[in-house]
Amino acid sequence: MAPDGPALAVWKFASCDGCQLTLLNCEDELLTIAGSVHIASFTEASSEVEPGPYDLSLVEGSITTSADAERIQRVRAESRFLVTIGACATAGGIQALRNFADDLTPIVYARPDYIHSLRTSTPIADHVQVDFELRGCPIDRRQLLEVIAAFLAGRRPNVRGHSVCVECKRAGRVCVMVAHGTPCLGPVTQAGCGALCPGVNRGCYGCFGPMESPNTASMSEIWKHLGAGGPALARTFRGFNAAAEPFRTAADEEAGKHDAR
Amino acid sequence: MTHGSRHISVPALARVEGEGGLEIIVSDGQVTETRLDIYEPPRFFEALLRGRQYTEPPDITARICGICPVAYQMSACQAIEDACGAQVTGEIRALRRLIYCGEWIESHALHVYLLHAPDFLGYDSGIHLARDHPAIVARGLSIKKAGNRLMEVVGGRSVHPVNVKVGGFYRAPTANELKQLVPQLEQARQDAEDTVTWVAGFDFPAFDRDYEFVSLRHPDQYPITEGSIASTSGLDITPAEYDKHFEEFQVPHSTALHSVLDGRTYLTGPMARYALNSRRLPASVRSVAHQAGLTATCTNPFKSIVVRAVELLFACDEALRLIGQYRPPDPPAIDVRPITATGYGCTEAPRGMLYHRYAITDDGTITDAKIVPPTSQNQRAIEADLRDFAAPRLAMDHETLTRECEQAVRNHDPCISCAAHFLDLRLADKTDKAVRLT
């Protein structure tokens, strides 16, 4: 596999494997990628693990253990470029809900003393310098190919920060919120998925995290008008990108409105 | 080093989903301990679900596993519908079975071609295999793509589908959208049949086991989305009776809970489904299985790749059958209203039985959740396999034995991301202190 090409490594932290799987799901491009880059370390796909340094590291997952907090430092030191892939690595993932709760270990494990887990789930950028963050729960295959192609060409990935609404309009879809009164996070959520949820007559639930300039206050008014303000909106913000600002703040405000009532 | 006293250790097991290792400790020429170390960081899903709404588990629990999200969605929906006294039938039930077939195709093709076959052929990965056998790997990727495409058309996307909800689907695909998948699935069915012949020709170590197999059993269908819970020792219960017979407990070396059936080690997955249900496979699929040398039960875990290939063929066949009979459900979902109750759901993930239980209140709040993934259930059987596989082979050179022990774990397609809600094989000297980057 192109032993002379740039060395690619894929790393996993706390996650579901879905973003790495997206690389293996590039069925038409996988063998071409393997011919253009040298896959030096990708434990999910290969027993061959070569020592660093690596030209490009793709990092999936969030930091939830002290061992992983140390391991990401070593990965960073061995990597020329480090790109995080997915909501866990970029925002802490669904497991970051623990950041807002009491210690959850005793609920799941009879012997919490066997479990070595941090109280918080944090994004990679809280620990090391990150060169690019690719959003999504899971990431989008086309965006992943763009990131790898951009890296090979030595340019910035063309990944836009506008909202899901732009994708919806481009696809010529009817707005589920305006036409059907379905609460939708599309106006405050970054594009990239292809506006999948409105495509199945469902409101966006924020897999790609906040868009570049989200107006969460206005979102709150609309959801309230649709009868889904307060706890319902708080719960939706507290999803797969719960620890990403400004979803985090907006969720706290919505939950607070509920407490005040 | 003699084999009088040694450690065989694989600190980070490759070609499995998630993070884990394997450790075999030998003293005085005897295997004294085998451990599947699971250090995948726990993500506390069962705790995170408390206080959420009864409509949310399909989306939240999908995130336990990127390889088998549909399994989580289906077990979750079934459990919540059970709690609410709702039952999904007819076209919605058929559409659920169809998207699940897509996941079996995607997951089984991934495991057979990219994770497991390289072991039998002496390669480090499917990508290495492709250098010498490009047409074979291309065939595997093409089957996998057909499964992913099916999940995309029914579910919106293959990893964490967006179209599944409690009660059914947000939108029913049109008959024409599904019909367009037929040529690709027909090719996949032919390729899957060739896959069965290909993997049946591999060399398998002689290693037959006396497993207690556990899987769903359905009176007239090969089980995917529903059935009673059956075992080869005569268990036959409903999902609601699961907790009376299955017990989970914690061990120090794993962030995944171990599970026993009335105190006994058991195995779930393709071999178990096949042993308990091979008669329910279509005659055409059974005939391909027989030509590949499978009898009604397969007890050699190394041959699980043949059983998996047979299931791959079945899933393509079943998907085509379901598409042939498809009429879009209208409405695409039934109305499911919360009541204060506990519900139980059990479906067959590609790697084995997946149990969910939820307690909800009449305002829709989840007060308790329990999720038992297949890899969690298989940990003890995998450790027993390692012990009995390694014991007579201690004279083998260290590197070969380590590699074959890794393969013995991979036989069961462990998904550690699921189980810890990861897997690392340590078969090594205590003095080996590898710095773990993976």
Residue B431's pLDDT band, with cuts at 50, 70 and 90, is: very low
**Beta carbons of A18 and B157 less than 8 Å apart:** no
Q: What is the pLDDT of residue B436?
A: 35
Which chain B residues contact residue A41 at CB under 8 A?
437-438
Q: Where are the domains of chain B?
A: 6-41+396-425, 45-372
Please state the rounded mean pLDDT for residues B315-339: 98
Task: Residue A105: list chain B partners with CB under 8 A.
Answer: 42, 44
Exposed (0-12), middle (13-18) or buried (19+): which is B208, by Cβ within 10 Å? Answer: exposed
Average pLDDT of the residues of chain B: 91
The pLDDT confidence band at residue B423, using thresholds 50, 70 and 90, is: very low
Q: Which residues of A touch B142 (CB under 8 A)?
A: 27
The yes-or-no verdict on residue A97 having pLDDT over 50 is yes
The whole-model pTM stands at 0.94
A 181-220 residues with CB below 8 A of B? 193, 196-197, 199-202, 205, 207
pLDDT score recorded for residue B41: 80
Q: Which pLDDT value is given to residue B417? A: 66
pLDDT at B147: 98
pLDDT at B124 over 70: yes
| Interior angle at CA B241, CA B261 and CA B81, nearest 5 | 130
What's the confidence (pLDDT) of residue A108?
74
- pLDDT tens-digit map of B171-182: 999 999 999 999
Q: Write out chain A residues lying below 8 Å of B66, CB-based.
A: 15-22, 138
Which token pair is B7?
A: 């450690």
- The predicted-structure confidence for B269-286, as pLDDT tens digits, reads as follows 999 999 999 999 999 999
Give residue B170's pLDDT. 98
Q: Which of B19, B48, B110 sits opposite A24 (nearest CB)?
A: B110
Partner A, chain B 126-155, Cβ-Cβ below 8 Å: 126-128, 130-131, 134, 137-138, 141-142, 144-145, 148
Nearest residue of A to residue B134, measured between CA atoms:
A31
Residue A198 has pLDDT above 70, yes or no: yes
- Diameter over CA atoms, chain A: 64
- CATH number attached to the domain at B45-372: 1.10.645.10
**What would the two tokens of residue B344 be?**
């139980």
Residue with tokens 């253990």: A65
Tell me what pLDDT residue B374 has.
93
**Chain A: closest CA distance from residue B438 (Å):** 6
- Does residue B348 surpass a pLDDT of 70? yes
Residues of chain A in contact with residue B435, where contact means CB-CB under 8 angstroms, are 74
Helix (H) or strand (E) holding B259: strand B258-261
Q: How far is B43 from chain A (nearest CA, A)?
A: 5
pLDDT at residue number B270: 98
Chain A residue numbers touching B162 (CB-CB < 8 A): 196-197, 200, 202
Q: Is the pLDDT of residue A62 over 90?
A: yes
Helix axes B283-291, B182-200, angle to 10 degrees: 30
pLDDT of residue A69: 96
SS (H, E, C) B59-80: HHHHCCCCCCHHHHHHHHHHHH
* B97 vs B103: CA distance, rounded Å: 10
Q: How far apart are CA A170 and CA B360, in angstroms?
A: 40
Nearest CB to A200 within list B114, B118, B171: B171
Q: Tell me, what's the pLDDT at B434?
A: 30
Span of A91-95, A183-187, B415-419, B423-427 with lowest mean pLDDT: B423-427
**Test the A interface: residue of B45, B249, B368, B438 with most A CBs within 10 Å:** B438
Contacts 24+ apart (CB under 8 A), B91-94: B91/B172, B91/B326, B91/B327, B91/B328, B91/B329, B92/B167, B92/B168, B92/B169, B92/B329, B92/B332, B92/B333, B92/B334, B93/B225, B94/B322, B94/B325, B94/B326
- Give the closest-approach CA distance of B3 to chain A in angstroms: 25
> Higher model confidence: residue B373 or residue B2?
B373
pLDDT tier for residue B300 given thresholds of 50, 70 and 90? very high
| A113 shares contact with chain B (CB less than 8 Å) | no
Nearest CA-CA distance, residue B87 and chain A, Å = 22
C-alpha to C-alpha distance for B300 and A28, rounded to whole angstroms: 34
Mean pLDDT on B109-135: 94
> What's the pLDDT at B119?
94
pLDDT of B149 reads 98
Instruction: Round the average pLDDT of chain A to a whole number and report it.
Output: 92
Please tell me the predicted confidence (pLDDT) of residue B425. Answer: 32
Nearest to B163 among A22, A74, A200 (CB): A200
Q: Kindly list the distances between the CA atom of residue A147 and the CA atoms of A45, A98, B137, B286, in Å, as whole numbers in the listed order.
A: 20, 31, 25, 45
What distance in Å separates residue A47's CA from the closest CA in chain B?
5
- For residue A36, with 0-12 CB atoms within 10 Å meaning exposed, 13-18 middle and 19 or more buried, which class applies? middle
Q: Which two tokens stand for residue B31?
A: 């295997």
Q: What is the pLDDT of residue A4?
A: 74
Q: In whole angstroms, what is the distance from residue A240 CA to residue B298 CA?
A: 41
What's the gap in Å between the CA of A36 and the closest CA on chain B? 12
- Convert the pLDDT of each residue in B17-73 to its tens digit: 777 888 899 888 889 888 888 877 888 899 999 999 999 999 999 999 999 999 999
Q: For B143-159, how does the pLDDT look when each residue is reduced to its tens digit (9 = 90+)?
A: 999 999 999 999 999 99
Lookup: tokens for B307: 């059983």
Chain A, chain B: beta-carbon pairs less than 8 Å apart: 202
Answer for the pair B250, B257: CB distance below 8 angstroms, yes or no. Answer: yes
Q: What is the pLDDT of residue B419?
A: 63
Phi-psi region of A209 (alpha: psi -120 to 50; beta: other; left: phi over 0): left
Phi, psi of B342 (to 5 degrees): -115, 140
Alpha helices in B122-163 (DSSP H): 126-132, 134-155
| Chain B neighbors of A121, CB-CB under 8 A | 43
Buried b / exposed e along B275-302 (16+ C-beta atoms within 10 A): bbbbebbeeebbebbeebebeeebebbb
Span between the terminal Cα atoms of chain B, in Å:
27
B58's tokens: 């399909």
Tokens of B306: 């043949």
Q: Which of B77, B67, B44, B58 is nearest to B114 (CA)?
A: B67
Per-residue pLDDT at B42: 81
Q: How far apart are CA B85 and CA B68, in angstroms?
A: 26
User: What DSSP character marks residue B116?
Assistant: I
Using the beta-carbon criterion (under 8 Å), do A48 and B128 form an inter-chain contact?
Answer: yes
Q: Do B15 and A21 touch (CB under 8 A)?
A: no
CA gap A207, A191 in Å, rounded? 10
pLDDT band at residue B427 using 50, 70 and 90 as cut-offs: very low
Query: Which of B72, B41, B38 has the alpha carbon at shortest distance from B57?
Result: B72
Write down all domains in chain A, each with its CATH number in brackets: 7-153 (3.40.50.700), 164-260 (no CATH)
- B-chain residues near A197 (CB < 8 A): 156, 162, 170
Which of B50-54, B253-257, B395-399 comes out lowest in average pLDDT? B253-257
**CA angle (B149 as vertex; A173, B276 as ends), nearest 5:** 130
Which residues in chain B touch residue A20, judged by CB atoms under 8 angstroms apart?
A: 66
Q: What's the whole-number mean pLDDT along residues A29-38? A: 88
Instruction: For residue range B181-198, list pLDDT tens digits in order.
Output: 999 999 999 999 999 999
User: What digits encode the pLDDT tens for the residues A199-243?
Assistant: 999 999 999 999 999 999 999 999 999 999 999 999 999 999 999
From chain B, the residues in CB contact with A49 under 8 A are 12, 14, 437-438
Confidence category of residue B91, pLDDT binned at 50, 70, 90: very high
- Residue B257 has what pLDDT? 84
